[in-house]
Amino acid sequence: MGRRRSPLPAGRPDLDLRFRYTGDPLKLDAVVWTDEGDTVRIPLGTITEGMTHASAALPKSAIGGRLTSLVFFNAQLVAGSGHQHGVYRSTVRFEGLDGLVDERDVPLEIFTVAVVMIKAPQVTDGLVLPAVVSPDLAKETKPDGTLDLHVGSGTIPVRVVGTADRVPTVVDPDPRFVIVPLDPFIVALASAVPGSGRPSEMWLSVPDPQRQAEVRAALAKPPFRFAQVTARSDLVAQQAGDPLTQAIVWAQIVAALAGLTLSIAALVMGAITDLRDERGELADLEAQGVSPSALRWHALARTAWLAIGGCIAGLVAGFALAVTVTGALAIDAEGRLPIPPLVVVLPPLQLVAVVVGVLVTVLGTVALLAARTYGRSTLGERRGGRAKRRTGAWTAGTERVDG
Residues 278-321 have pLDDT tens digits of 666 666 666 676 677 777 787 788 888 888 888 888 888 888 88
**Which residues constitute the domain of residue 215?**
209-239
Confidence category of residue 46, pLDDT binned at 50, 70, 90: very high
**Sorting pLDDT into bands at 50, 70 and 90, what band is 6?**
low
Q: Of 119, 147, 169, which residue is a domain's last? A: 119
Residues 288 and 353 in one domain: yes
In a domain, 401, yes or no: no
Show which of 98, 119, 140 is a domain's final residue: 119
pLDDT digits (tens, 9 = 90+) for 326-368: 766 666 555 566 777 777 888 888 888 888 888 888 888 888 8
| 371 lies in the same domain as 276 | yes
Residue 43 lies in a domain: yes
Residues 250 and 389 in one domain: yes
- Mean pLDDT along residues 48-65: 88
In a domain, 402, yes or no: no
What total of structural domains would you count in the chain? 4
| pLDDT at residue 9 in the model | 67
140 vs 225, residue with greater confidence: 140
My answer on whether 260 and 328 are in the same domain is: yes
pLDDT (0 to 100) of residue 332 = 59
Higher pLDDT, 4 or 26: 26
Say which range, 35-44, 72-81, 83-92, 158-167, has the weakest mean pLDDT: 72-81
pLDDT band at residue 399 under the 50/70/90 scheme: very low
27-39 residues labelled b (16+ CB within 10 A) or e (exposed): bbbbbbbbeeeeb
- Residue 88 located in a structural domain: yes
Provide mean pLDDT across the span 8-30: 86
The answer, yes or no, to whether residue 274 has pLDDT greater than 70, is yes
Q: Tell whether 300 and 373 lie within a shared domain.
A: yes
pLDDT at 319: 84
163: pLDDT strictly greater than 90 = yes
Residue that wins the pLDDT comparison between 380 and 275: 275
Domain-embedded: residue 305: yes
Give yes or no: residues 367 and 272 share one domain: yes
> Both 299 and 389 in a single domain?
yes
* Whether residue 224 is found in the same domain as residue 134: no
Same domain, yes or no, for 254 and 268? yes
pLDDT of residue 160: 93
Regarding whether 90 and 33 lie in a shared domain, the answer is yes
Task: Check whether residue 14 and residue 74 sit in a common domain.
Answer: yes
Q: Does a structural domain hold residue 114? A: yes
Between these two residues, 6 and 372, which has the higher pLDDT value?
A: 372
Question: What confidence tier does 397 reach under pLDDT thresholds 50, 70, 90?
Answer: very low
Say yes or no to pLDDT of 262 above 70: yes
pLDDT in tens, 83-95: 555 788 899 999 8
Q: Indicate whether 225 and 250 sit together in one domain.
A: no
Last residue of a domain, one of 60, 86, 119: 119
Asked whether residue 377 is domain-assigned, the answer is: yes
Domain presence at residue 202: no
Per-residue confidence band for 224, with pLDDT thresholds at 50, 70 and 90 = confident
- pLDDT tens, position by position, 165-223: 888 878 787 888 999 988 888 777 777 776 666 777 888 888 888 888 888 888 888 87
